[in-house]
């Protein structure tokens, strides 16, 4: 399907692997893959070059001057410039396929290209895969019997188009009913619709973040790059288990489960689509595309592909990426031929959500060495910069989801999410300022971190004895009690006074659970650092991603050793980066290609294959502590 | 979909338009498009070069020696030959992309490439779009976590494959159930199936000829190139009219008619598919492809595309060709992902049946100047050779289908198909030697031709008066009578003796009908000859195609002026060339590409646009006569 378009967009055969571009007057100096156009390279690096057509060679506004390096004169150049200008090095930036190093002089803007800020502070130049063209066609005559499709193609001869049979079925009547005054809707090289009159201002798409727990839909206006509506809901697959492993197990137990799970994923996506379409008050058939980021299991299930091989060693995916999909393949009913783009997965446990997240953070474009951690039952970790990225998955277990924690709960009203412990008492932050009923993942990390800091937990994760506690921390000792034969620390007395069993507490076993989780994660990033042969202190930023990571206190994360010991401002909450990556892929075809390329660029390290994993894991169980 | 494959198959960029190849020892000297491989060029020109892989670069058997001209050494060449051999000019024919003139020495065959004789005496080297590969894959391990699809692709890394979601859904379970010992089914660059074990010997496809009247299905064994079963039936659309115009009219009158007609076409094709599958005793899911040749109206209706613009000036098609179709789009249920290839149409009245027919006759590959006429209600005419072909459509009207002829009937038992008239009587050939009940098209042409020859009809097509007849042809004069006020010639007295109204006769108006038909056709080919600036006598062969053309007597066709006045052996009945072209496209991807290319190569001349058409038509009404 998209092959023709990709040829068009891709680098020319025989181009050098990398070329250096220096832009004046900005002074920006970058290396880009040979064959990329100067226009695209500039877009990627945040340099605004004039353009109204978005690099399609039709507006002739992207004038730049080459002051160093050779660039042949293209056909369009000779129409856009005088011979004197050509001699002076003027060229159209969108026609220059870089074949060697260049110095490029960029004139000040006349038209400001549309751009949107998405991801982690990323500026994306709007260039959606969905393109609309208003066409006023000549009516057919006996001396001009071109076919209907040819007439439409000829009016857009800068695009290489394929036309699916669904469009051919409606094309003739549509052209004639509209008296040959139509708007063509093109999706990444495919003509997906012909609309009467000029509808170019109305173009929408939906970006989905299909999480195991939560699913988010963003309706975007492709003309302005702005979000029109956003909605989220719990994944309707919840009855089949909270995490991917339980859902995979369900499909292994029951041959009907896969179909049912797929249906529930489709229902979730379809309902969200309906909601954002209603909230945004747009026409359903003017939503021309959907993009989805999800982990490998969610993606395979949504596409109806048996996830069993993801759940058992050697953890094999059906495919990294999927081409030629339509929104209907995901159960989403918008424009009937709307394509669907699904972010590719790097491995069974480093899925499309992570590819999208890495795209959103620009990990692969930044000079700084950064550590990306998506904290959850399965924890994905990547370290790298523009030169190299390595990634892995660490089996953190359910501690962060608080599922295996005695008083654990999801981050909902009544969940303790912040904990401060001083020798004379405990201070809690509860979601919605409600009465505490349990603690969520961030509360758990805070609680353990604070208990380590005040010394009620030692570095090995063991509670003090009653005697030690009474001696060293008399103000807290009455909270250290025994419930069901296990030592617990009471965070909140929620039952009868003194009835620890009905309080919100943290048990010795809960502490062990968190220790295992953090040890798995720390082992993961330490092994990646070793792979890169880089000391921990070289990490310039830690990005905590995912719904859990976003709420984690940086101080606590450092204190329990979940993240490297770095100055607190370097630990950054990155938010829902998967959803942001999906939005970027909707807004820019360049970003989409970059997202696809990530699976080839990122090196995947399989931890379960490493003989030294268990020893390293044990080394990481201790809490480093610190203020 | 097929874009990647086409890039692979197509000529290299920058290759010269045409290069000359001289093959020794055969002495064949041809010009081919630059960039075509020597292997393909040889196949096209009937020169057998050793090969078991069909030009995929895997068998290394297509060894040839270049004795004149430069050919770089390919990667495969250096593995296939010694340095001495390379210096001597030895190369693999399938890797030589022709960039200049070459002399090629072809060694005698060791393995005989499979070939089939189809079309009009054409030898086609078997190279179907459907390829099967038996794969014995390594099982996945923790140190080899390639995705299922990657593992399959890597085992066929000489092919560039796309994998549709339907295959991805079944791939994982299929590989594991078969313990990684599978056969991959590839259709023109798309992986359409994975089968357990080695099924490479079982590969089938169906070639359809979708006529307005008759539909034919040919089941072919792609491994041997042989037909396994053939069936035909009347097009179930018959109740909507005998010709394309009545069916188009039906869709204009009734908004439901298009859907109904499409359904009837699908039913016809599906029933025929069922019949050949049963007759051939093959498994339905081992039929991997269908190819269809039909006129533009039949094709558009079968695909559900409104045919109205084909029926009214300026006679515009929705599209020339259709890509990315599946058999299910034609209502045919064989392998669920079987692709469908539909022959492209040149114009509203020179359809895919004619493109297929021209392919089958090799009109575009022959040095001889040949005239191709598909005789019917709409008559398609093409003249040309390997250098240039021009084509047109002539509105012959229903005379040849015998629908507008008083005693006309379809070529069925009881139809007079041969007529000989001597001064003393009439001799008839009747289908199935039955009692005559009417005459079919070839009987009509014979009758008129014979009446002109004996002189009962004058050159203007008028019957002699009774007096003239009694004087000049007393032995026939009693057959020249008046029925319903119109002069008729009785061919067979089938009622009471002397009751002309109940006999099988030829009326004055019937003669006029035939005159109009033959004048339209003769005007067509004369205008084409003028376009080429070539005298009638230069035509070296006339190919009469279609079910009617095949039964026409050459002598009669010449005598009434339907075809140029040439020696009788030069008038050849070509048979069902549309069906043969469809078979060729099934058996050879080269032939299929050649068929697609025809629509760009053939020049179409629109007759209804010509101011001189009516004058020329009147000039052609007379019968030339002659022995």
Could you write out the DSSP letters of every residue in B222-271? Answer: TTT--EEEEEEEE-TTGGG-SSHHHHHHHHHH-TTHHHHHHHHHHHHHHH
CB atoms within 10 A of CB A285: 16
- Chain B CB within 8 Å of residue A126 CB: no
Inter-chain residue contact A144 with B314, CB threshold 8 Å: yes
Best probe of the B interface among A144, A151, A165, by most B CBs < 10 A, is A165
- In this structure, are strands A122-125 and B378-384 parallel, antiparallel, or unpaired? unpaired
Q: Which residues of A29-60 are buried (b: 16+ CB within 10 A; e: fewer)?
A: ebebbbbbbbbbbbbbbebbbbbeebbbbbbb
**Which residues on neighbouring strands pair with residue A97, listed in sequence order?**
A37
Query: To 5 degrees, how large is the angle CA A218–CA A219–CA A223?
Result: 130
**Residue range A403-425, pLDDT digits in tens:** 788 998 888 899 999 999 999 99
Cis check for the bond before A342: say yes or no (omega within 30 of 0). no
Inform me whether the pLDDT recorded for A111 exceeds 60: no
For residue B5, what is the nearest residue in chain A, using CA coordinates?
A3
Residue of B nearest to A607 (CA): B142
Q: Do B314 and A142 touch (CB under 8 A)?
A: yes
Task: Please report the beta strands in A45-151, taking only residues with DSSP state E, as ranges in sequence order.
Answer: 63-68, 90-92, 102-105, 115-118, 122-125, 130-136
Identify from A2, A4, A13, A147 which residue to disrupt to test chain B contact, counting B C-beta atoms within 10 A and taking the largest count: A147
**Of A53, A341, A320, nearest to A190 (Cα)?**
A341
- Pairing relationship of beta strands A504-507 and A541-545 according to DSSP bridges: unpaired
Could you give the CA distance from residue B82 to residue B104 in angstroms, rounded to a whole number? 19
In angstroms, the separation between the Cα of residue A314 and the nearest Cα of chain B is: 5
3-state secondary structure of B562: coil
- pLDDT digit string, tens, across residues A252-283: 999 999 999 999 999 999 999 999 999 999 99
* B169/A1 touch (CB, cutoff 8 Å), yes or no: no
- E strand map for A95-245: 102-105, 115-118, 122-125, 130-136, 181-187, 190-196, 204-210, 214-221, 227-234
- Residues in contact with B407: Cβ distance below 8 Å, sequence separation at least 6, in sequence order: B438, B439, B491, B504, B505, B506, B510
DSSP letter at B106 equals: -
Question: Rounded to 5 degrees, what are φ and ψ at A22?
Answer: -115, 120
Residue pair A314/A568 in contact (Cβ under 8 Å)? The answer is no
Q: Are strands B438-439 and B415-422 parallel, antiparallel or unpaired?
A: parallel
Distance between CA atoms of B351 and B348, rounded to whole angstroms? 6
Using an 8 Å CB-CB cutoff, list chain A residues near B147. 316-320
Of A143-157, A211-225, A404-418, give the lowest mean pLDDT range: A404-418
- Whether residue B609 lies within 8 A of chain A, CB to CB, comes out as yes
Q: Check residue B147 and report its DSSP letter.
A: -
Contacts A341 to B, Cβ<8 Å: none
A533: left (phi over 0), alpha (psi -120 to 50) or beta: left
**Chain B residues whose beta carbon lies within 8 Å of the beta carbon of residue A143:** 606, 609
Return the exposure string of A401-410: e unless at least 16 CB atoms fall within 10 Å of the residue's CB, then b: bbbbbbbbbb
d(CA B317, CA A172): 9
Q: Which chain B residue shows the shortest CA-CA distance from A175?
A: B318
Work out the minimum CA distance from B263 to partner chain A, whole angstroms.
Answer: 15
CB distance from A323 to chain B under 8 Å? yes
390-409 in A: which are within 8 Å (CB) of B?
Answer: none
Residue B148 at interface with chain A, using a CB cutoff of 8 Å: yes
Q: In degrees rounded to 5, what are phi and psi of residue B305?
A: -105, 125
Query: Strand, helix or coil at B523?
Result: helix
Residues of A in contact with B1 (CB under 8 A): 1, 3, 162, 324
CB contact under 8 A, A303 and B168: yes
Contact A102, A119 (CB under 8 A): no
Rounded to two decimals, the pTM is 0.82
Q: In A179-230, where does DSSP find H-type helix?
A: none
Residue of B36, B281, B227 lying closest to B117 (CA atoms): B227
Q: In chain A, which residue's Cα lies nearest the Cα of B176?
A: A309
Q: Which chain B residue has the Cα nearest residue A162?
A: B323
Cα(A139)–Cα(A145) distance, integer angstroms: 9
Asked if the model's pLDDT at residue A358 lies above 90, the reply is yes
Say whether residue B544 is in contact with chain A using an 8 A CB cutoff: no
A174 has a chain B CB within 8 A of its CB: no
A166 touches chain B (CB under 8 A): no
**Residue predicted with more confidence, A17 or A545:** A545
- If you measure CA to CA, which chain B residue comes closest to A317? B147
Cβ distance of B145 and A320 shorter than 8 Å: no
In this structure, what DSSP letter does residue B186 have?
E
Copy the structure tokens of residue B179. 């313990």
- The candidate with the shortest Cα–Cα distance to B462, out of B480, B484, B443, is B480
Q: How far is A609 from chain B (nearest CA, A)?
A: 6
* Region A230-246 average pLDDT: 92
**Closest residue by Cα to residue B16 from B28, B1, B32, B29:** B32
List, for residues A429-462, the tens digit of each pLDDT value: 999 999 999 998 889 999 999 999 999 999 999 9
| Gap between the Cα atoms of A211 and A232, Å rounded | 10
CB B229 within 8 A of CB B280: yes
The answer to whether A383 and A566 are in contact (CB under 8 A) is no
Please tell me the distance from the alpha carbon of residue B257 to that of residue B260, in angstroms, as a whole number.
Answer: 5
Q: How far apart are CA A483 and CA A485, in angstroms?
A: 5
Residue A581 distance to chain B (closest CA, Å)? 23
The confidence score (pLDDT) of residue B52 equals 63
A172 and chain B in contact, CB less than 8 A:
yes
Which chain B residues are closer than 8 Å to A148 by Cβ? 309, 316-319
Q: Which residues of chain B register pLDDT less than 50?
A: 1-13
- Give pLDDT tens digits for A47-83: 777 776 667 677 788 899 999 999 999 888 988 899 9
Chain A residues touching residue B297 (CB < 8 angstroms): none
Q: Is B506 on the interface with A (CB under 8 A)?
A: no
Distance in angstroms (rounded) separating the CA atoms of residues A565 and A570 = 10
Dist. CA A439–CA A407, nearest whole Å: 6
- Is A147 close to B319, i.e. CB distance below 8 A? yes
- B627 to chain A, closest Cα gap in Å: 41
pLDDT tens readout for residues B205-250 = 999 999 998 999 999 999 988 889 999 999 999 999 888 999 999 9
The verdict on A8 touching B (C-beta cutoff 8 Å) is: no
Nearest residue, CB atoms, A148 vs list B318, B323, B609: B318
Whole-number pLDDT of residue A482:
92
CB distance A377 to A243 below 8 Å: yes
B515 CB-contact burial (10 Å; exposed 0-12 / middle 13-18 / buried 19+): buried
Interchain CB contacts (distance < 8 Å): A and B: 140
Do B296 and B308 touch, CB atoms closer than 8 A?
A: no
Whole-angstrom distance, CA of residue B613 vs CA of residue B206: 41
The string over B382-392, giving b where at least 16 C-beta atoms fall within 10 Å of a residue's C-beta and e elsewhere, is bbbbbeebbbb
Distance CA A257, CA A265 (A): 12
Tell me the three state secondary structure of residue B621. coil
Tell me how far apart the 2 most distant CA atoms of chain B are, in Å: 103
Identify which of A144, A149, A608 has the shortest CB distance to residue B319: A149
Distance of CA B221 to the CA centre of its chain: 19
Nearest to A142 among B147, B172, B313 (CB): B313
| A305 touches B at CB < 8 Å | yes
* Nearest of A383, A356, A355, A354 to residue A368 by alpha carbon: A383
Minimal C-alpha gap between A321 and chain B (Å):
10
CB-based contact, B281 to chain A, within 8 Å: no
Angle in degrees, CA B301, B307, B312, rounded to 5: 155
Distance from CA of B253 to the nearest CA of A (A): 15
The Cα–Cα gap between B445 and A467 comes to: 120
In terms of CA atoms, which chain A residue is nearest residue B160? A3
3-class DSSP state for residue B188? coil
How many Cα atoms within 13 Å fall on the side-chain side of residue A231?
Answer: 18
| Residue B402: φ, ψ to 5° | 65, 10
The answer to whether A441 touches A400, Cβ cutoff 8 Å, is yes
Nearest to B314 among A145, A306, A322 (CB): A145
Of A10-24, A541-555, B162-176, B359-373, the range with the lowest mean pLDDT is A10-24
């Amino acid at each position: 399907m998209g092959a023709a378009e990709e040829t068009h967009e891709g680098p020319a055969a025989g181009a050098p692997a990398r070329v250096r571009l220096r832009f004046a007057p900005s002074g920006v100096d970058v290396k880009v893959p040979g064959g990329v156009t100067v226009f695209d390279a500039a877009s990627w690096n945040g340099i605004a070059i004039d353009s109204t057509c978005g690099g399609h060679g039709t507006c002739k506004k992207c004038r730049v001057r080459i002051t160093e390096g050779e660039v042949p004169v293209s056909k369009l150049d000779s129409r856009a410039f005088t011979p004197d200008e050509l001699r002076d090095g003027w060229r159209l930036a969108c026609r220059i396929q870089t074949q060697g190093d260049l110095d490029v002089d960029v004139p000040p803007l006349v038209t400001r290209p549309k751009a949107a800020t998405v991801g982690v502070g990323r500026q994306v130049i709007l260039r959606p895969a969905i393109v609309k063209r208003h066409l006023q066609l000549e009516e057919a005559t006996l001396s001009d019997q071109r076919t209907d499709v040819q007439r439409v193609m000829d009016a857009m001869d800068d695009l290489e188009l394929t036309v699916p049979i669904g469009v051919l079925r409606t094309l003739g009547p549509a052209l004639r009913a509209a008296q040959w005054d139509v708007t063509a809707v093109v999706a990444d090289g495919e003509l997906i619709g012909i609309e009467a009159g000029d509808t170019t201002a109305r173009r929408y798409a939906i970006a989905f973040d299909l999480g195991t727990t939560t699913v988010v839909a963003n309706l975007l206006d492709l003309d302005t790059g702005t979000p029109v509506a956003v909605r989220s809901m719990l994944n309707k697959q919840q009855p089949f288990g909270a995490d991917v492993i339980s859902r995979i197990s369900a499909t292994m137990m029951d041959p009907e489960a896969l179909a049912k799970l797929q249906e529930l994923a489709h229902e979730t996506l379809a309902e969200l689509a309906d909601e954002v379409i209603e909230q945004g008050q747009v026409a359903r058939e003017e939503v021309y595309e959907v993009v989805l980021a999800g982990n490998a299991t969610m993606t395979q299930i949504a596409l109806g592909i048996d996830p069993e091989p993801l759940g058992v060693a050697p953890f094999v995916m059906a495919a990294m990426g999927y081409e030629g999909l339509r929104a209907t393949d995901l159960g989403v009913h918008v424009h009937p031929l709307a394509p669907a783009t699904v972010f590719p997965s790097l491995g069974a446990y480093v899925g499309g959500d992570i590819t999208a997240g890495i795209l959103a953070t620009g990990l692969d474009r930044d000079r700084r060495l950064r550590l990306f951690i998506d904290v959850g039952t399965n924890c994905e970790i990547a370290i790298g910069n523009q030169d190299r990225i390595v990634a892995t998955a660490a089996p953190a277990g359910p501690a962060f989801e608080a599922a295996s924690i005695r008083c654990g709960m999801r981050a909902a009203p009544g969940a303790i999410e912040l904990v401060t412990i001083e020798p004379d008492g405990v201070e809690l932050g509860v979601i919605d300022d409600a009465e505490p009923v349990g603690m969520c993942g961030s509360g758990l990390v805070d609680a353990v971190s604070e208990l380590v800091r005040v010394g009620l937990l030692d570095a090995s994760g063991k509670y003090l004895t009653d005697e030690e506690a009474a001696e060293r921390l008399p103000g807290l000792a009455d909270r250290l009690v025994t419930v069901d034969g296990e030592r617990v620390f009471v965070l909140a007395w929620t039952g009868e006074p003194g009835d620890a069993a009905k309080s919100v507490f943290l048990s010795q076993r809960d502490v062990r659970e968190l220790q295992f989780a953090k040890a798995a994660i720390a082992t993961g990033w330490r092994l990646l650092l070793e792979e890169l042969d880089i000391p921990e202190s070289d990490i310039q930023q830690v990005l905590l991603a995912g719904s859990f990571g976003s709420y984690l206190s940086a101080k606590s994360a450092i204190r329990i050793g979940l993240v490297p010991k770095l100055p607190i401002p370097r630990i950054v909450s990155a938010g829902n980066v998967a959803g942001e990556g999906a939005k970027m892929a909707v807004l820019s075809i360049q970003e989409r290609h970059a997202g696809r390329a990530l699976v080839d660029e990122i090196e995947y390290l399989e931890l379960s294959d490493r003989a030294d994993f268990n020893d390293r894991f044990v080394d990481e169980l201790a809490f480093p502590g610190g203020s």
